[in-house]
Amino acid sequence: MTMKPVQITIFGAEQKCASCIHLPSAKETMEWLEAALTRKFPDKKLAFTYVDIEDPQSQEEKEWAEAILNDEYFYPLVLINGEVSAEGDPHLPALVKQIQAVTV
């Protein structure tokens, strides 16, 4: 049986949000999450996707980007398998718990 990858999607923009000015960019956040989570879960399939909220591609990405642009969420917004997992300043321990929960 093939294990379906855990889809981790990070929404962000080149320009940081005003409340996140002291934090890494959304792209940098995706890079460190990818490095940290891949090390933490070497035997799990993790698929990482970065979505620029100024240039979403699919209809689903457009809906999430619109919600962020309408201030419903802070970015970077992290989704795990399509569910909101973190926004603004993601915390690794919380994301680890969520990945463990979906890969049981």
Collapse the DSSP code of 84 into the 3-class scheme (helix H, G, I; strand E, B; otherwise coil) and give the result: strand
**Tokens 């620029």, residue?**
52
In a domain, 1, yes or no: no
For residue 88, what is the domain's CATH number? 3.40.30.30
pLDDT of the chain along its 104 residues, tens only?
Answer: 457 899 999 999 987 666 666 778 889 999 999 999 999 999 999 999 999 999 999 999 999 999 999 999 989 999 999 999 999 889 999 999 999 999 87
Structural domain count, the chain: 1
Answer for the pair 76, 33: CB distance below 8 angstroms, yes or no.
no
In a domain, 45, yes or no: yes
In a domain, 48, yes or no: yes
Domain holding 33, by residue range, is 6-102
The predicted pLDDT at position 71 comes to 92
Instruction: Specify the pTM.
Output: 0.90
The predicted pLDDT at position 1 comes to 47
In a domain, 14, yes or no: yes
9 sits in which H/E element: strand 6-12
In a domain, 60, yes or no: yes
DSSP 25: P
Give the residue among 83, 91, 76, 81 at the shortest CA–CA distance from 37: 91
